[in-house]
Structure formats: C-alpha cells, structure tokens
Amino acid sequence: MAYTIDSQQHRFGSPPRHPWRRPVQILAGMVLLGLIFSASSLLSSWVNLLWFDSLGYGEVYWKMLTLQAGIFAGVTLITFVVLWLAFAALFRMHRQGLPGSQAILLSGQTFQISVEPVLRILSPVAAVLVAMLSGVTIAGDWPTLALFWYAPRSASSLADPIFGRPVSFYLFTLPAWNLLNDWLLALALAISVAAAIYFVITGSTRALRNEGADERRIDTPGSPWRGLSLAISFLLLVVAMMVFVSRYELLLEHHTLFDGISYTDAHITAYGLLLVSLALVLGSVIAASNAVRLPRGRTLALAIAPAGITYVVLGLVGWYVASFVVKPNELVRETPYISQNIQTTRRAFGLDRFYQQEFPAETTVDAADPANNQPTLENIRLWDWHALQDTLRQVQEIRTYYDFPDIDIDRYNLNGTTHEVMLAARELNVDRLPESSRNWINERLTYTHGYGVTMNTVNGFTPEGLPVFLLSNMPVQSTVPGLSVTRPEVYFGELTNTDVYVKTRQQEFDYPQGQSNNFTSYQGNGGIVLGGFLRRLLLSIYEGDLGKLPFSDDIKPDSRLLMRRDIADRVAALAPFLSFDEDPYLVVGDKGRLFWILDAYTTSDSYPESTHYALDGNPVNYIRNSVKVVIDAYNGSATFYVFDSSDSIINAYRRIFPSLFRDASLMPMDLRRHVRYPEGIFNLQSDVYGLYHMTDPEVFFNREDLWTVATENGVDADGNQAMMPVQPNFVLMKLPGESSAEFVEILPFTPANRNNLIGWIAGRCDGAHYGTGVVYDFPKTRLVDGPQQIEARIDQNAQLSGQLTLWNQQGSHVLRGSLLVIPSGKALLYAEPIYLQAQESPMPELRLVVLALQDRLAYGPTFSSALAALFAGEPSSLTAVETAQAAPAANMPANLPSGLAPQTATNTLILQASQDFSDYQRLTAAGKLAEAGEKLDALKQVLGELSARVK
C-alpha cells in the first residue's frame, strides 16, 4: 500500500497515524546526545581551566582554548558557507531535471516522498556535518597552524640547494600548506560527491545513452553536466596545488641508501611535477569551460587527459634516468645528494655537537694509569639497578603498598667531594592496599602520598650485602651531615595515578611507625580548591564521585583536589605539543625538598634532506632537547626551563606561550647541578651516529664502517637469556685529557655484525660541556675486546666458570650485572658485578667483582680485592679470606663522607664463615661430598683467622 507524503490528501486508504515518529525520535535522541556531549565538554573545559589556574598557567590554557576555538569556528564557518553555496548552486542547476517524487521503504511500508523538499533539507544538514567534522579535525592539529603563524620571521642562512627555501619553510610553512590542501581536498570531494548525486538523480545515464541522438536535449540550461564540470574543475585545481606543494616533499623522501632528494628527483621529478601541476590547471580550465558552453562528457574526460598523460610520461622518463643514467654510475651521480644528506642529518640530530678524537686503547696495566684516575675508580658502579631495586623492595618498602618504581643515578657533593649515588622514591601504590581497605575514604582521603627517598653509593656494600645508605628509612634518616629531606611526602610521582582530596577533616596516612601509624595533613598550595556546594557538585560529576564528595562531612571549603598527579601525564597536559623523555629522575634539593626533572623535546618530521628515525613509534628527522621541566613532588608545581635557545621550534612556542617558559639561567643552582644528558635523545643519537659518523660519501655509500651499539648477556621480556644491546650508563669519571671528573652518559660501539669494540661515545652533563658529546675512535689495526668478548673470557676462566656453575645449582642462580666499559688513562677498563640470588629470596647478594683490561682478567669478592688483583699483581680469589686483612672495607669507597666508616675485617670474616657453612650444608645435602669438603676446609681457615683476631 503506497501513500503520498506531501501537502495533498493521501490517494487511497488510511494514512498511518504517525509516519514520522521514528525519524523524529532518532533526531531527538541525537539532539539529546549532542546536549550531553556539549555539557560534558563545558564541564571538562571548566575543570581544566581551574587546574591550569592552580598551577599559574591559566593564560596558557586560555591561549590553547582560544586557538582551538578560533580555528574550529573559522574552518567550520568557511566550510559551511562554501558547501552551502555550492549545494545551493547545484540545486538551482538541476532543479528542472529533478523528479517529482521518489519511492522509499519506511517502517515496512512504501511511501512516495517529494525529492525537492528533501534535498532542500539535506543540503544544509550535510554542509553542517562536513563543516563540523572539518573544524574538529583541523582544530585538533592547532599546533601546526600556530607554529606557522608565530614562527620567527628572521632570515635563515640555511636554505635547501634545490628550491632555495629556508629551513623554517619546511618546519613551519610546509606542514601548514599540507593541512590547508587536505582541507581544500575535503571540500572539493564533498562538492564532487554532491554533483555526482545530482547527476545520477537527474537521469544523466539516459542522457548519455542519447547524447548523439538528441544533443539539444542535454544542452539545456539545466544540463547535469554543468554542475559536475564545475565540481571537477575545482577538484583538479586543488589537486594541482597539492602536486605543486609535493615537489618540496621530495626533500623528505626515503631512498634505499639515504633520505632526501636524489639525482632523478632533482633533474626529472621536480620539474615533471611542476608540469603535472600545470596540466591539472589546464584540465581545470577545460572542465570549467565545459560548464559554460555545450557540456559534453567527452570534454570532461578530456580535462583529465593532460595531467594523466604528463604523469605517465614523467614516470617513464624518471624510470629511464634512474635505470640507465643513475644506476650504472650511482656513486658518481648521487654523491652530492648523499653529502647533503649526511650534513643535514648530523645537524638535525645534533651530531654536529659531538667531537671525535683518537683513543689508543692500550693493553698494559701502566696504560690504565690508576694513580691519576682515582675519581673514575672510586665511582665505578657495582650496584646494578635491577639488583638494587629488588633489594630495596625487601629492606625499604616496609609495607606492601609501597614500591620503588625506578632507580635513578646522579651525582651529589657530599662534604666537599662529588660522589655518584643511586636514588629511589618510595611511592604509594593504592592497588596494593588490602582488599578490606579498598574504600573511597582510604583511596581518596587517607592514602594520598608516598614517603621519602633512599640514596646509596654506587659501589658500597655492607658485610650483609646491603647498600650503604646515605638516606633511608621512615622517617628519613641521613648518615651524611648536610644531607637531609625536610619534605619527604611524595604527592606527585611515577605511580601517583589516582586523584585525591587533601586538607580534609580526615587525617592522611604519612608513614608506619612500629605498631601504629603516623598521620599528617597536606600543608601545600597545590590543587583545586573545592569551595562551596555547587562547585563541589560539579567537580564530583567530573571525578565520578557524585554520591560521595558533595555530601561528605570530611570535605571542607578549603579542601583541595589533586588531579593529574602522574608527572608524565601532568606535563603532557600542560604542554601537549612537546615530546617527553620516558625517564624522569628524582633530585633532593639543598633545602631538603624533593623534585622531579623531566626532559622535553621539540621534534619535526619535515627537516629537509634529513633521514627519518623512530622516536616512541613516530618518525622524526629533527630533534632538540630544548626544555627541562621541574616538578615539585609536594606541591605539583611545574616549571619549564628552556635550555636550547637556538631551536627555532621552541622559540616559536615561546612566542605563543610567553608565560609558560623560562630561561635556563633562572633554574635554581641546586637543581641546575643535577641536569643530565637525557637517555631518550642519547639513544636516538647513538642510532643515528652508527651510520652518520661516516662523513665520506663513498664510505657511506658502501657502508664500509657501519657501527652498532655493543651487545651483552641479558634477559629478554620473557625472562630468557639473550643478547641485548648495552643500555646507556651514567658514570662519574675523568675523561681522557680532562683534569677533573665529570658526570657522563656512556655507550660502547662495535662494527656491524662484529663483537670487538670500534668506538665509545659519552654525552656530557656538567658545566659548559653540557649538551655536547665526545666520541673516542679505537684503533682499527688491532682487536679491542667488546662486552661479548669479555663475557666469553669470564665464561672461559676455569675457576670462575666452575664457581658460577656451582652457584647456579641447588636453589640459587647467578645474576650478572651490566658490564661497564670505561676509558682509564690510555686503556679501557671493564667492570662487571656478579650477584647470587636464592630462589626463596628475591634479594641478590654481591659475590664477585670482575675487572679486566685488554689482556688481563682479575676478580675478587670485593671491588678492592679485584682492583688489587688487576693492578697490584695479587692473585684473584673467589673468597674474602685472602683479602680480609688487606681490605676490611673492600666494597666501600675510600673517601666516603664521615659517618660512613667501613666495617671491620672481623665482620667480613664472620660473613665469609657464615657463607662457607651455608655452602657446606647445601653441598652435603646434594651428595657432593668432595666439594663440601673443600668448603669445610675453607670454613676452618676462616675460623682460624677469627680465632687469631680474638686472641
């Protein structure tokens, strides 16, 4: 049964009661969802404004909001006006050819609808939807347009050799052009789709079939070809602009050997794309002319032909040149472009700040010059951070809900001497609270923060195998005069991923104290003030606490909401346009406050003729460590310090957000002393340097001297032994040729697919050298052992191998720490700690220290004994008996601050006796009587030593 839905009476039968009920319901539902989304967005924006204001960055949020809102409004309005005018013009062009009605199926019944009213409604609706989608999409990419608008306009001395455009054009203008072209393409496609729909509705198919028989019929003023011709003309014009702009992207192309423009691109493709662009403009003119004279389908096809033919010819010519001109003489043809790629890639990744020098890597003991490299030897790190983390979780967590998520390495001046230390924040993990304690009050009001920090020397071990703590316990205890923590609460950290309410009537858990707990109340000024009932109600909706927060008796008007307490999320929300290093590190300030420092990067993927590398899964070909962010662990305040004022990207952002950034010179000195070369950029630069240390185009072309980061024995993600790349290590050492020790980040290199060392790189962290790197090139005429080869020498040593095999049995296993490769004098010193870990206890114990030079291997149960075996010619030993008298404090640095005096030799012998007795019992139980007898003899010898000391 069919009905006519228009102003006339239905033809027969009774019409349905409410034929438009379902569409109206759907529309009402969409409107309701839109209102809910709008209300949610407004609430979110209001809370974000409060949060930015609480940090003193309200102006920054308003700027971001203004930029996004302005771009959204402008793009949406322009898009709507253009589409509405285009749709209206198409409607007028095709109005005479529109059918009167069209049959549709609705609610199981067929209806005849009037086409013209429907098109009048759908046209503005479609224009609104496309306009809003365009506005949202482009507003989401607001940094691109903001950088284009605020980019420094000073002339650059650096310009590409092909088009003569400055680097700023590629960093700021080209991305904006591409964004504009994408928007215009969306407009052109929307108009073309609408024109195609009108073309189909008005019966273009039948007109095409009768084109030759009744030409006058299709050439009426309402011909469907007119609208389609104008739409195609606009589309071709937009594509012409895109092709024209794509010429500049040739300098970003990836090739097999290098990135950037190639010989074929420079001589053929660049000019060919210009011709294709001109051909598309010609096609656009042809398509437009088809709308004003007798419109024909073949004329519209002719409009596309010039560009198609030009593109095919360009492809053929380019293939011919690449195959028969370049390939037979590839090195000669590509040398200028390879040379340009090397130069720009090194500049884009900051490798021009690295300085190379030869290092002899001699093999003798005298070459190591231990007498003049005492700062290096005194700060060799024996605590592997994994082993230390396991130990801290056993001896310093105190309660199960505490955790040490990371270990940081830094240097501190203790009593006038700089020491390398390891720090860890004791953070609260609410997921570890007992199930019976998991309620709203505990999670939101009571357990609000972690507490304290541990600090230990990098090579200090007590006789019990524990770290030599400088800071530890709760409340925090210090063993060094002048080193203290006055504000130990950690409200903002790496595990603080929940929002909490502070300054409430509910006391906050501070730290455990015997059988009771110590409580506190937040005294800082961080967070959003909760205020009155209405404000609390709105904040509770945002936080999902609607049933609790507004009605809680514990909440006061001056109570505060601490949100975004995870420091990575915090800085990312403040500056979403920056990239951040994955490893924030903790600093104890001179006044005892705790701070986090997090490195931030400016990046780009459009630096001309620079090779792309992956950073956090995203391709980049330009990076600068331009900013360091300091976050107060108590208040949550975040300060952005600019450390690279030569970076044009950060300079543009400083013009956009002048109140967000500060000069590096304004960073307090007690924090400035702890800045370091960030791991993320160091890893990336190391990858780039492995290829781009080759500055000779011929050597680069043949990959004759490719380097890779050295590998060592490690454990993969599945817990299996595997060859793993050496991770960057921070060490305090005296670089060859320097007069004093400095804090550096180091990494060794091997030739590709080889195990011997070829080079060593250090990122410098201190003073005027900060941000630079030094590379030591090792001799290529002889073999210099790499980490794998040193590991092999350890495994091939009969005494060591037998002991390690023995330890790996009967309920324990050996853990091998990171192998450090450190230049000392004119030689390379290798150091590796070896731990023993019982299966029933996750706490590892240092059992051996292995030291090596190129042709000498030594070891001992302590660092001092291993050092004596290496440099003084004393025999290596697996036990502490031989070295107990000579080195009663073997694992203690010689110049520790007062209050850290080493344990006596007697304690060392007692520890050894206990270990020998434990080994004797284990071997006896396993039936290994011969080995047990050896342990018994060793025990008697130790007991004899103890007896002599007692007498």
- Mean pLDDT across the stretch 340-354? 96
Q: Does the pLDDT of residue 186 top 70, yes or no?
A: yes
Q: Does the pLDDT of residue 156 top 70, yes or no?
A: no
Q: How many residues does the chain have?
A: 951
Q: Does the pLDDT of residue 209 top 90, yes or no?
A: no
Contact 163, 248 (CB under 8 A): yes
SS (H, E, C) 2-14: EEEECCCCCCCCC
> Tokens 């809370």, residue?
47
Which residues have CB under 8 Å from 165's CB, separation 6+? Answer: 159, 248, 608
Percent share of the chain, pLDDT over 70:
84
Look at residue 904 in the predicted model and tell me its pLDDT. Answer: 42
Look at residue 208 in the predicted model and tell me its pLDDT. Answer: 40
- Confidence at 374, pLDDT banded by 50, 70, 90: confident
Look at residue 534 in the predicted model and tell me its pLDDT. Answer: 92
Bridge partners (DSSP) listed for residue 641: 628, 662
Contact 475, 452 (CB under 8 A): yes
For the record, the structure tokens of 105 come out as 């199926």
Three-state DSSP class for residue 159:
strand
State the Cα–Cα distance between residues 34 and 895, nearest whole angstrom: 69
Look at residue 290 in the predicted model and tell me its pLDDT. Answer: 84
Q: How many CB atoms sit inside 10 A of residue 947's CB? A: 9
Contact 94, 198 (CB under 8 A): yes
Look at residue 803 in the predicted model and tell me its pLDDT. Answer: 87
**Helix 533-543 and helix 21-54, axial crossing angle in degrees, nearest 10:** 110
Bridge partners (DSSP) listed for residue 508: 520
In eight-state DSSP terms, residue 485 is: -
Which residues have CB under 8 Å from 478's CB, separation 6+? Answer: 470, 471, 484, 485
- Confidence at 699, pLDDT banded by 50, 70, 90: very high
State the Cα–Cα distance between residues 376 and 827, nearest whole angstrom: 13
Look at residue 99 in the predicted model and tell me its pLDDT. Answer: 65
In eight-state DSSP terms, residue 737 is: T
- Confidence at 712, pLDDT banded by 50, 70, 90: confident
Look at residue 105 in the predicted model and tell me its pLDDT. Answer: 57
Contact 850, 859 (CB under 8 A): yes
State the Cα–Cα distance between residues 156 and 647, nearest whole angstrom: 12
- Mean pLDDT across the stretch 233-252? 96
- Confidence at 371, pLDDT banded by 50, 70, 90: confident
Residue type at 645 in one-letter notation? S
Torsion over CA: 943, 944, 945, 949 (sign): positive
Q: Does the pLDDT of residue 842 top 90, yes or no?
A: no
What pLDDT, in 10s, does the model give residues 274-307? 999 999 999 999 998 888 776 677 788 888 999 9
The string of DSSP letters for 893-906 reads: -TTPPTT-PPPPHH
Cα atoms found within 13 Å of the Cα of residue 532, Cβ hemisphere only: 1
Q: What is the dihedral of CA 57, 59, 61, 62, to 10 degrees?
A: 160
State the Cα–Cα distance between residues 173 and 176, nearest whole angstrom: 5
For the record, the structure tokens of 97 come out as 């050819």
**Helix 21-54 and helix 567-574, axial crossing angle in degrees, nearest 10:** 100
- 3-state percent helix, strand, coil for the chain, nearest multiple of 5: 45, 20, 30
Closest CA relative to residue 827, chosen from 851, 863, 797, 796: 851
In eight-state DSSP terms, residue 741 is: -
**Farthest-apart Cα atoms in the chain, separation:** 128
State the Cα–Cα distance between residues 811 and 813, nearest whole angstrom: 7
SS (H, E, C) 222-273: CCHHHHHHHHHHHHHHHHHHHHHHHCHHHHHCECCCCECCCHHHHHHHHHHH
Look at residue 153 in the predicted model and tell me its pLDDT. Answer: 73
Phi, psi of 889 (to 5 degrees): -125, 50
Q: What is the DSSP pairing of strand 742-751 with strand 707-709?
A: antiparallel
- Confidence at 811, pLDDT banded by 50, 70, 90: confident
Using only C-alpha atoms, the chain has a radius of gyration, in whole angstroms, of 36
- Highest averaged pLDDT of the listed ranges 268-282, 918-932, 934-948: 268-282
Phi, psi of 600 (to 5 degrees): -125, 145
Contact 688, 613 (CB under 8 A): yes
State the Cα–Cα distance between residues 403 and 428, nearest whole angstrom: 6
State the Cα–Cα distance between residues 853 and 363, nearest whole angstrom: 6
State the Cα–Cα distance between residues 111 and 460, nearest whole angstrom: 88
What pLDDT, in 10s, does the model give residues 890-910? 444 444 444 333 334 454 565
The helix (H) or strand (E) run that includes residue 144 is helix 142-150
Q: Please tell me whether the peptide bond between 475 and the residue prior to it is cis, using omega within 30 degrees of 0.
A: yes
Look at residue 903 in the predicted model and tell me its pLDDT. Answer: 37
Three-state DSSP class for residue 860:
strand
State the Cα–Cα distance between residues 67 and 52, nearest whole angstrom: 16
Q: Does the pLDDT of residue 950 top 70, yes or no?
A: no
Q: How many CB atoms sit inside 10 A of residue 883's CB? A: 23
Closest CA relative to residue 677, chosen from 774, 773, 572, 580: 773
Torsion over CA: 455, 456, 457, 458 (sign): negative
What pLDDT, in 10s, does the model give residues 98-150? 666 655 655 566 666 666 777 777 888 889 899 999 999 999 999 999 999 99
- Mean pLDDT across the stretch 38-43? 83
The helix (H) or strand (E) run that includes residue 294 is none
Look at residue 504 in the predicted model and tell me its pLDDT. Answer: 95
Three-state DSSP class for residue 510:
strand
Least confident of 30-44, 84-98, 493-507, 686-700: 30-44
In eight-state DSSP terms, residue 593 is: B
Phi, psi of 350 (to 5 degrees): 75, 15
Look at residue 714 in the predicted model and tell me its pLDDT. Answer: 73
- Mean pLDDT across the stretch 241-267? 95
- Kindly list the distances between the CA atom of residue 532 and the CA atoms of 446, 559, 563, in Å, as whole numbers in the listed order: 22, 10, 19
Residue type at 358 in one-letter notation? E
State the Cα–Cα distance between residues 90 and 264, nearest whole angstrom: 44
Look at residue 525 in the predicted model and tell me its pLDDT. Answer: 93
Residue type at 760 in one-letter notation? W
End-to-end CA distance of the chain: 118
pTM for the model stands at 0.86
Cα atoms found within 13 Å of the Cα of residue 901, Cβ hemisphere only: 3
597 vs 394, more confident: 597
- Mean pLDDT across the stretch 688-707? 95
Closest CA relative to residue 570, chosen from 46, 47, 55, 68: 55
Contact 881, 945 (CB under 8 A): yes
SS (H, E, C) 411-477: EEEECCEEEEEEEEECEECHHHCCHHHCCHHHHHHHCCCEECEEEEEEEEECCCCCEEEEEECCCCE
- Confidence at 369, pLDDT banded by 50, 70, 90: confident
- Mean pLDDT across the stretch 814-829? 91
Bridge partners (DSSP) listed for residue 600: 580, 627
Look at residue 35 in the predicted model and tell me its pLDDT. Answer: 66
Closest CA relative to residue 565, chosen from 691, 701, 429, 437: 429
Closest CA relative to residue 433, chosen from 446, 420, 421: 446
Look at residue 925 in the predicted model and tell me its pLDDT. Answer: 58
Classify 122 in phi/psi space as left (phi over 0), alpha (psi -120 to 50) or beta: alpha
> Tokens 């290093």, residue?
581
- Mean pLDDT across the stretch 645-668? 95
CA angle 764-354-615, nearest 5°? 85
- Kindly list the distances between the CA atom of residue 859 and the CA atoms of 369, 766, 893, 912, 924, in Å, as whole numbers in the listed order: 19, 32, 17, 17, 27
Bridge partners (DSSP) listed for residue 169: none
What pLDDT, in 10s, does the model give residues 846-862? 889 999 998 899 999 88
